[in-house]
Amino acid sequence: MKIYGLKNCDTCRKALKALEGAEIIDVRADGMPTDLLDRALLQFGDALLNTRSTTWRGLTETDRAQPARALLLAQPALMKRPLILRGDDLFLGWGKDVQAQLIEG
C-alpha cells in the first residue's frame, strides 16, 4: 500500500501509522507518477485539489483558473491528502469512510 502525500502532514502520518506495511511517498520531494495523477483526476475530479490549503490561498486568480492537472504538476502540495493506493483501488482523504474500508475491510 502506498500513501501519496507530504511527510510532514499530520493526516498522512496518521494514515501511515494506522496502515501496517504502508509506505509514504512525499509528492513534494519525490513527485507522483503522471499516470497515477491522471487516474486520480479521472476518479476524483476537482476534489483532488485542496482549495482550503495555504498554497491555494497564495495563488493568483489566473493560477487558480488553470486545469487541475497543471496545478498539481506545478504545485504538488495542492493535492488533497492523503491519496492512498491499495492494489488497484484509490482512496482520497483520511475520513471515517476511508478508514473503515482500509482498516476494517
9 in catalytic set? yes
- Counting Cβ atoms within 10 Å, is residue 72 exposed (0-12), middle (13-18) or buried (19+)? buried
Within 10 Å of residue 12's Cβ, how many Cβ atoms?
23
Angle in degrees, CA 103, 80, 58, rounded to 5: 155
44 closest CA partner among 96, 93, 94, 102: 93
* 9, 12, 16, 83: the active-site residue: 9
Residue numbers annotated as active site: 9
